[in-house]
Structures are given as structure tokens and as C-alpha cells.
Structure 1
Amino acid sequence: MKQRIRTLGYVSPVILLIGLGIYYINGLWDMLSTGLTVLGAACGIVYLVVCFDDLRQAFSARSFRSGTNSLLITCLVLSLLVFVNMIGYRSFVWKDITIARKFELSPLTQTIISDIREKKQDIYFTSFFWTYVDRNLSQEQNQTLIRQNREREGKLRDLFEVYGSVTPNFHFRFLDPNKELMLARQYNIQRYRGNVTVVEYGDYQEMATDMETEEQVTNALIRATSGEQRKVYFLEGHQELDINDGSPGGFVMARAAIGDQSYITERLNVLEAGGVPADCRALLIVGPRKPFLSEEIRLVDDYLENGGRVLVCLDPEYDSGLGEWLLSWGIRVDEDIVVDNSTAGVRQGAGPTEPLLYSYDKEHPITKFLMKAYSTMPTVRSVRLVDTPPTDLELSVLARTSDNSWGERDRNAMAARNPTFDPTDLSGPVPVAVAMLKKIEETEPGLHEIATKVGTQAPTKQEIEKIKREKSQTKAEMVVFGDSQFASNSYLRYGGNWDLFMNAVNWLIGDERLITIRPKDPEDQTIYVNQRQSNRMALMLQYALPALLVILGTWVWVIRRFR
């Protein structure tokens, strides 16, 4: 029995290390890591209690004292290495030794940072990375999500270190919202599901989600230092949802979310204003209940044709008169109501006219990060592409309902609450959201992309302005939803509705004048050897090195033998 306990004592450190290693890799105390850690600790404690005499004899042996001296020397060397690494960590020096300067900041980024350094005004980046367990996801999905968050945090930290090495005015910190509750509430981080970075520059504050690349960080610097007043307008005059209404059917929460992005939100009567103002970054048409006048449609169309960005949410109960106009942009809104009898909706407590959305476009920036989060749209109409869309438009169906759904076109059946599918209805899965993009030649200076050659100096401000005029390009963008209530106060926090709405708004108000930093091409580091060099390398590895080891070993044996 005692021999078995000795065996358990010998393997207990291995079991304990395996359990801790699994926790370190997954970041979660799951059943396997917890079980192995507890088992290893328990076996070690039992061994210490039962076999204490064996440990006393081992400690009093001469070999133990000799081994202790070796252990002390090893600890001394390790302590020296730790001390050297601490000095290196605190005295951070960044030097890119690759031929193509692959890991250096681009010349444009260095120009922008030099402007910040000249102004001598500090800029702060506060990144919040979630490490909590989402109960809506499985254990495996939680482990994957936490591991991905830690990898992203490490990459972003390295990138911030590079920025901080260029200018002392760049400050950053990484926080966990679950541990820094006061700061999380101060910045209102609970609104967001993903990782959030708060950028602060004087009185300017902006929130950016899922920041990872140099392009995103530099664009945040440009927005912070530009001092530009950016506005998002909500169209009014047709009984749209009220952006100041805090009731369940109001839109005040959506307006506040857009305001968190440092955008000024205002109402707009396009007829009184004589068109869409030039400072409009996005025009939102949310739930109109009255038809548009032809002059209003013309003004909105002129804005879109000149590189505008429009979000349209049309409820199926009302006729806004925008159907014909949307057809000219390749989008069809049908006069139907989507009915979904799938069991998934019933389990979530949704009725047949509140379809759950699981199927998203995996490639489009609006929906590719939604993963398996479901959204719901109460009383939604179908929004789909025309049969033959114009060739100059890029159209994408963002979200569809389940296979068990259809677009019910018989309003009498809907009124009687007895809808059934018939050949005149639109069969599922039914598309309910579409995104449109059209590239347009820009007439005013902007900045689309600047590519600089490797090894060249950063361009001056005059050169940048010249390239702006030469490389200008803009786009017309539009997103159409078949419902507006999904972003109202009562539904915005439901499932993935927040992410779907804010992703659409962020995609529309994305600043195309900001720089696009092209990833550097990896340099060719292939070593080419001829046949003669290859033979010499083979001779060295296969014969010379083994022979040298044999000679040295023989020399050591002879010296020890005849000493």
C-alpha cells in the first residue's frame, strides 16, 4: 500500500502541471483542468502525510546537500536572466532588422505621429478586452473566444508598443471590464459585445470596436487630431421613429449609441434644408409612415449619387413611396410580411411574425463578425435583389430567415391571424436586409490610398495633398432593412440586434478619406546554393561534426582515464 502511495507521490507533480497547463491554454477552469489539478494536489498531500519519513531521510542525505548547492547556483543564474529581461522590458527598444522593413510603421503613420509630437498633446488609448464566459455559447466556443481575445490583445499591445516607441505622447492601457467596473461604466462599455478601444485626445473621445491593425490605429489618430465635426442626420417629416423618445417604440438608445462614436446626431427636413448638408456622414431613414414627395426622393437620390451613405428601415405596415426609387438601386422591397413557423423561434418566445435571423453573409463587413448570434425583427418585410441588377452596383444580402419561413402577401390572412403558404407567397429563406455599394469618381479632394515605396522617406504635407487630388475616389453606400422596430428601445438589446444595427451604421459612416495602409510584401529570403556548396554542407553535417564529437569524447575519456 505504501509503495502505491509513493508511486502516486512521484506522478502527482506531473498531473498537477498537466491540469495547470490545460487551464493556461484554454483560459477556463473546465472539468478536465479542475479535475487534474485537484487530483494532482490531493495525491501530493497524501504522499507528504504518509511518506514523510522518506522525505526526512532524503533531506538529510549527503547527495541532497550536494544537489542543493547545484540548485542554488541554478537559481542564481535564473535570477540573473530574469533581472536582465526586466531591464530589457522596461527599456523597450524597437528595431526592425528585416530587409524590407516589414515591421516598421508606414511613412504615412510616421508623418501623422510627428504632427502629434509637434503639438505636444497626449493621446490615450484604453482597450477593454472581455474574458468572461458567455452563457449563450457552448464551452468550446467560450474557450475559442477567450483564446482569440488574448491573442488579439497581445498583437495590439505589441503594435501600441511600436507607436509608443516613436512618440512619448502616445499612451495606452489594457483593462478587463469585469475587473474595472467603474471605468467600464464611465465609458459605457456594457453596450458593446466585442472588444472596445476608447481613444481620447483633449475633449475628443471615440470608441472603436475590434481594433487590430496599424490601419485602424492610424485612422483613429487621424479622426482624433482632425477636429472635424461629423454629423449623422435622421430624416424627419414622415412620422419616422423619434430619436428623442425614450418609450419602448422610440429611438433614443440608437441615437445614443451613434453619439458614443463621437458623431453629432441631428434631425433633417430635406425640403426645408434644400437637400442633404455637406457635413452629413450618413442619412438615416427610420420607419417612415407617410409617403415621400417626389422632390424629397430626388434630393436624397442626388445625395446618394454624389457619394452619400443612406440607411433605410421600412416597416411592412406602411407605404413610404420609396419602392420605385430603391428599384433603381437594385433593391426590391415587397409588400408582404415574413412568417416563420420554425421551432427555434418558438423556443425563444417569438411569434410567427417575429422571425429569428441566424443566416448572415459571412464575407460582408457588417455581418461577418456576428458568428452565431441571433437577431429578431418584429413584423418584417422581405428585402431582396432585383432579377437583373445594374452591373456597376455591388449588392449583398446581409440576413435571411429560416427555411421554414415565407413572405405572406395576403394581408387578409394576416389580419385573421391564420397565414398559410400558397404559390403566390415568397418561399423561404427570405432575405430581409441588403447592402449596396457603388464606386463613384470623386470631384472634391479626398484620400483613398497612398502606397509608398520601401525605403522612401515619409511624404510631406504638400505631397500628401497632391496625392489626395490624384488618387481620389468615393463610394455611394446604402443599407436597407425590412423593419425599423428591431433597433427601437424595446428590441435593440435583444440578441444580436445591437451588433447588426451598429455594424450597419459604422460601415456607412466609415471615412473613405482615411488612409488605407497596404500590407508590406514579404521579402524573398530564399537561399540559393549550387551543387558544390550543397556537397560541402552535406560533408560538414554528415561527417565533420560527428567526427569532431568522437574526437572530443575520446580526448575527455583519455584525460580522465590516466589522471
Structure 2
Amino acid sequence: MNLKAWGRIGGLFGLVVLFSAVFNWLFVTGSINSAGVIARLALGVAGVAFWLITNRREHPLGRGAFYGTVSAVSGAVLIAALVGANYIVVKKPKSWDLTKDKIFTLSDQTSGMLKGLKDNVTVSAFYAASEPEYTELEQRLRQYSAQSDKLKVEFVDPFKHPAVVKEMNISQTGPRVIVKSGSKESRAKDVSEEALTNALIEVTRGSAKKVYFTKGHGEHAVGDSTERGLKNFVDSLKSEGYQTDEIVLAEHKEMPADTAALVVAGPVGGFSEGEVKLVKEWVDKGGKIVAMVDPGVTTGLEPAFESWGIKIGKDEVIDPEAQNPEIAIAQQYTEH
């Protein structure tokens, strides 16, 4: 093999290295000042220069030079494409949920929370591969990891590492997923998205925001699963990552700092002046309230409603053709 042949090999090598340098600059390091990028650029330029020097007497349009250049460029492009595809598959995995009810799709709140992570978070799951919950949990945590490179997941087989289980105080019936961020730690009560997201929120934001339901005025009960109860509504809030709790306003001088919203759900008794003042001042400062008031019920909150531009009427919508006229049934409601 003569010097010209070695020059062509060096030129091909140089082109490949140059493509590698550009790829690393644009897709990996994001900076041309990286030592790896600079080294590749220098090596690539040296390879191309070696080719030009050893083949300087060959006519640029000669058949050998032409086909050699085409082969070199084609090879470099092919290698760059393969490297790029490999990078996308490894670093930017993409999956599709083809189920009808999107059971393998994370909620918008969970996805947004994960993408907004600023600190490193570690999730340690104490489950063996043979346990029934393992597959569901492993798939869900893989979805979580795909949303943020700040999240690290590890599975610990409790049967193979009994010392770690004892050290972390893990029990068969208790929480077995530990979420840590810095000095903060939380444990997910089960493997559901709701439990995992709540645990993540607790360690990344200090504590999850809560939706409080007023209590003590005959409101609909949050734990009641009957038609009058709010259990289904509360469960839907929890599935979106919110925490819920009841609050007796008379026992507080100010609203809890973790209050995301206050729900007044169908009271039958009136609020005291102190309670009304507490609610009004909190809403005036930017708090959010959801009030569900039945017709004819005086809550004591009416002056506060009026100050916010809301007038509570005493009218009722009835259906005279129904067996129970006070229960109006409509197929479609206009905007209101």
C-alpha cells in the first residue's frame, strides 16, 4: 500500500472524526469549548490535511480522487447517521400508549412536575422481581425516569439484602418505595402514580399543596361515598396528585400555608363572623375558593361573595314535567 492510499485512509478517518466532533458539539456537550470536541476537531483536520498533502498531485476532478471523496463522504454520513440514531434511541427514548383508556400515560401534573425537577432525586423500590407489584412499578418508574435526567431509580431485592431492609425499616405491609432528595425523605404508600407523585412533591417542594374542605357547618362529608358525599370528587383530586384535608375554620387564626384551595361544599349552617373574616382576607390576598351553596341557605358568606362580584340568588330551576320537579334534568347546558 503506497502513501497515497494511506492518505485516502487518513482523509476518510479525518472526515469521520470531524463529523463526530460536530455531533458531540451540537447534541452531547452543547459547547465547542469541550476538550473532547477540540481534540476531535484537531484530529479530523490532521487526517484531512494528511490526505491533501499525500494526494496533492492528483487532479481534483480525476476519477480516483472523485470516487475516493464520494466514498469518504458517504461513509462519514452513514456513520454519523448511525451514531445519531443510537444517541436518540438511548438518550431520548420514546414510547406510545396504544391502550384505549391511556392507562400507561402519566397525568399532566406528574409529567410537568418531573420536567421541572431542579435537584437530584433518588427512588429506591424494595421489591423483588418475583412480586406481583414489580412489573407495574418498574414500568411506571421507567416512565418517570424518561421525563427527567434528575431522577434516579434503583430496585432493591428485599430477600437478597435483608440488612438494608432492616436499616431502612422496611416491612412487608408498610411503604416500600423511598424517595430522597438531599436531606428530605418521603415514602410512597403504594405503587400507584398518585402515591409516587405525592412522595416526589413532598421531597422537592417541602410539602404538597392541599385542598381543604370546610367542616362544622353540615357540609357534605369527604369520606361519604353516597350521592351526598364527596368521596369520588376527593379521590379524583388525589389521583391528580393533590392532597386533601378537612379544616375547622373556627380553630384557626389564619389559613394553613399549604392551602391550594378552600372548598365550601353545601353547608346548612352559618359561618361565624370570625370565620367569614378569615376566608375573605385569605381570598382577597389571592386565595382560591370553591363554594357550593344550596338555594335558600344563608351561610354568612354572602357579604364576602358580593365583595367579589358574586350574587347568590334564591331561584331554583325546576322541571314541571318531572316526577320530582325540583330535580331538573337537561341533556345540554349553555355556558354560564
Which TM-score bucket, shorter chain as reference?
Answer: 0.3 to 0.5
Q: Which has the higher contact order (CA 8 A, sep 6+)?
A: 1
Structure holding more strand per residue: 1
TM (norm. structure 2) is 0.44
TM (norm. structure 1) is 0.28
